[in-house]
């Protein structure tokens, strides 16, 4: 387990809701990564999870009340507010979101948020109708305006039996978002302001019948990390994602697609309004010539023949634009002769840069939280050693934006 949050101080606020049972695991996951965690439980939260449980997993006393004489003798709520590098409210009920949006200080948690200079993130968790209510949406919009991070929510079946958006994200999803949010240098949050990125991520699925499809092992983690890094540096980011189980990075506009043809259409539409296009998605090369309208049945034959046709080459199509062409960066996920194949793609597809990575390595590439790549461009290359995808993404975005700037400067000089 990589210690990505060593010595980071995270104040976790838990409000009332059934999702509070997940918060103990969230604390454990944060501590695995080296974070120091302090917990505040609201009165309602204590109906779902006990202070003793959170004390056991965090290793620290749990705070529950503004009216604790021992803690407040030393202005405990102010000390907690000053201690935190990041405040995370998970789960964040509709009630606590409303209080935070209106600057209330009616309990220890809301008071600490008001008294802290640390960034604040909320992970909404509530019934789908409550989440979709105009009041909740207005309150969330207010929090976004005030620079709160909004983590989720996810969609699915809820404890009440409803289905829809309102589920708190899973602990590991929240940890990823916390890693992306915490303590970014002030210079990093604005250095790409004004630049427009479009990034594709994840796999595509090519239907064979209503049940089966062709796909690959891409998790989307690298593309999502790139989107998060670019947004954190101030860029305007559009993320076009195939089917993945990942939360949308803070500040990123997301378009979900399924097939290569859908991604092709969305990519070309977004590319002409972008400065930089990064094709990180693992797009299926082929699709079924005809999709069966009913489930294909197992016959007596030992073989099944499929007639496949080529999908559009998205990255080549973007690089081939004659008007409003963005600076175009591709990915070459290979299992052998990685750099050789990548150099050929760089030239044949007329890319500005390409990231070559060996997906045959068990600790890198698909489904891994780590990756290693060699970034190639005409006249240069740079190898980035194995590291977390979040850290790698920051380095890649920095290098890509630098090459984009160099090319733009050269183009202006040649006019």
Q: Is 135 annotated as a binding residue?
A: no
Q: Examine residue 111 and say whether the peptide bond preceding it is cis (omega within 30 degrees of 0).
A: no
Q: Is 159 annotated as a binding residue?
A: no
Q: Is 295 annotated as a binding residue?
A: yes
Q: Are 220 and 239 in contact (CB under 8 A)?
A: no
Torsion of CA 128, 39, 37, 386, to 10 degrees: 0
Cα 371–chain centre separation: 16
The secondary structure of 158-218, three-state, reads: CCCCCEEEEECCCHHHHHHHHHHHCCCCHHHHCCCCCCEEEEEECECCEECCCCCEECCCC
Q: Is 285 annotated as a binding residue?
A: yes
The secondary structure of 57-72, three-state, reads: HHCCCEECCCCCHHHH
Q: Is 256 annotated as a binding residue?
A: no
Q: Is 280 annotated as a binding residue?
A: yes
Question: CA nearest 179: which of 59, 54, 86?
Answer: 86
Strands 308-310 and 252-256: unpaired
Coil, helix or strand at residue 362: coil
Alpha-carbon span 260 to 57, nearest angstrom? 44
Q: Is 331 annotated as a binding residue?
A: yes
Q: Is 112 annotated as a binding residue?
A: no
Q: Is 313 annotated as a binding residue?
A: yes
Q: Is 14 annotated as a binding residue?
A: no
Q: Is 68 annotated as a binding residue?
A: no
CA angle 90, 96, 102 (to 5 degrees): 130
Q: Is 358 annotated as a binding residue?
A: no
Please state, as a whole number, how many other Cβ atoms lie within 10 Å of the Cβ of residue 56: 12
Annotated catalytic residue: which of 141, 159, 160, 163? 160
DSSP per residue, 208-242 = SSSS-EE-----SHHHHHHHHHHHHTT-EEEEEE-
DSSP class of 186: G
Alpha-carbon span 60 to 63, nearest angstrom? 9
Q: Are 374 and 363 in contact (CB under 8 A)?
A: no
- Judge whether 160 counts as a catalytic residue: yes
Structure tokens of 359? 């997906």
Sequence ranges of the binding site for CTP: 279-281, 285, 295, 312-315, 331, 345, 349
Binding residues: 279-281, 285, 295, 312-315, 331, 345, 349
The residues annotated as belonging to the active site are 160
């Amino acid at each position: 387990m990589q210690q990505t949050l060593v010595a980071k101080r995270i104040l976790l606020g838990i409000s009332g809701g059934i999702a509070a049972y997940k918060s103990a695991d969230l604390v454990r996951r944060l501590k695995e990564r080296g974070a120091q965690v302090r917990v505040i439980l609201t009165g309602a939260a204590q109906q779902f999870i006990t202070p003793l449980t959170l004390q056991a997993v965090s290793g620290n006393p749990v705070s529950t009340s503004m009216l604790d004489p021992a803690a407040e003798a030393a202005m405990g709520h102010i000390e907690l507010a000053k201690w935190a590098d990041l405040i995370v409210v998970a789960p964040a009920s509709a009630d606590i979101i409303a209080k935070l949006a209106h600057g209330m200080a009616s309990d220890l948690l809301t008071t600490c948020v008001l008294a802290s200079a640390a960034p604040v993130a909320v992970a909404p968790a509530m019934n789908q109708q409550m989440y979709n209510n105009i009041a909740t949406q207005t309150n969330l919009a207010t929090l976004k305006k005030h620079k709160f991070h909004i983590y989720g929510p996810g969609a699915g079946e809820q404890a009440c039996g409803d289905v829809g958006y309102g589920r708190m994200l899973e602990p590991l999803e929240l940890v990823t978002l916390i890693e992306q949010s915490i303590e970014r240098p002030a210079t990093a949050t604005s250095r790409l302001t004004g630049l427009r990125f479009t990034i594709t991520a994840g796999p595509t699925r090519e239907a064979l019948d209503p049940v089966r499809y062709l796909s690959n092992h891409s998790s989307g983690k690298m593309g999502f990390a790139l989107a998060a890094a670019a947004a954190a540096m101030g860029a305007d980011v559009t993320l076009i994602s195939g089917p993945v189980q990942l939360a949308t990075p803070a500040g990123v506009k997301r378009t979900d697609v399924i097939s290569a043809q859908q991604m092709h259409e969305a990519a070309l539409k977004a590319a002409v309004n972008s400065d930089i296009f990064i094709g990180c998605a693992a797009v299926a090369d082929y699709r079924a010539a005809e999709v069966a309208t009913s489930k294909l049945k197992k016959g007596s034959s030992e073989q099944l023949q499929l007639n496949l046709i080529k999908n559009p080459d998205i990255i080549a199509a973007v690089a081939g634009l004659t008007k409003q062409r963005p600076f175009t960066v591709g990915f070459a996920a290979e299992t052998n002769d990685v750099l050789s194949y990548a150099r050929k793609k760089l030239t044949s597809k007329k890319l500005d840069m390409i990231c070559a990575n060996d997906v045959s390595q068990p600790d890198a590439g698909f489904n891994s939280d780590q990756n290693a790549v060699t970034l190639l461009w005409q006249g240069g290359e740079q190898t980035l050693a194995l590291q977390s995808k979040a850290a790698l993404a920051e380095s890649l975005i920095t290098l890509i934006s630098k090459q984009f700037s160099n090319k733009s400067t050269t183009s202006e000089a040649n006019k």
